[in-house]
Amino acid sequence: MQTPTTLSRPLAQRVAGLHDPRAPAATAPALPASVIEAAASALDRGETHYTDRPGIPEFRAWVADHLRERYNVNVEPAEVTITCGSTEARFVCMTLLAAPGGSVLCPGDRSLIRGAAHLVGAGIVDSIQDDISLLYITPDDYRETSIELLRRAEETDWWIVYDLSFAKTNPPFHPAQNPKLASRVVTINSLSVSLAGWRLGWMAGSEMALRLRAGKQAITICTTAVSQWAGLEWARTQL
């Protein structure tokens, strides 16, 4: 990638260091008729304006209910922000939770956070160091390793991002089930596989929820209204 000439020098250097993005999927799953109808109905109602900055209340309530019913994790709808896919959620979390010049601890696949960490100026490591500010784990990581790192997190001030999007496994385990950690855990998920191209995800929980919401607003203001109503119908009927 060539270095841009119209950006500030530090930012231009970071952008030039990004890996080329992966090509999008050539095809997407067929949409259920009810999801198409939900999108059409939203357009008929004139749902083409800005939504509440964190997302429509109905979708945020569904996310909170899903976390409680699936993982026994208590998150208020006010702590949920609907994002433009999980990519935006990861970028916001990296921007606000990872310390520039510090390290993000990632025991598994780092491909989904590599670009965001690079832009923030944070390194990614797979072993404990003194400069860690954020632990990034997924359901696909080796369980015993994740549990051990979460035990260490109890003794630190690390933020914890638990990313459910694109996970191949879906165990009932969740780091926010630990009351000692719950206030520092952000859950990321998305409908990027089921509703590819609709750009719909979310981040939920932690005492940083309001600041994360503000970070999302600074980037895209709010997530597309029609996508949110279509996603809500998909979540209610397909999950």
String of DSSP letters for 63-107: HHHHHHHHH-----GGGEEEESHHHHHHHHHHHHHSPTTSEEE-S
How many residues appear in the chain? 239
Closest CA to 228 of 103, 99, 54: 54
Q: Predicted confidence band at 30 (pLDDT cuts at 50, 70, 90)?
A: confident
Domains and CATH numbers, the chain: 32-238 (3.40.640.10)
> Is the pLDDT at 25 greater than 60, yes or no?
no
What pLDDT does 26 receive?
A: 54
Q: For residue 77, what is the DSSP state?
A: G
C-alpha 43, offset from chain centre: 27
Half-sphere exposure for 96 (CA within 13 Å, toward CB): 23
pLDDT in tens, 147-176: 999 999 999 999 999 999 999 999 999 999
| Prediction pTM value | 0.90
Distance (Å, rounded) from C-alpha 82 to C-alpha 189? 10
Q: What is the mean pLDDT of residues 95-117?
A: 96
More confident residue, 20 or 28: 28
Structure confidence at residue 100 as a pLDDT band (50, 70, 90): very high
Share of the chain above pLDDT 90, in %: 85
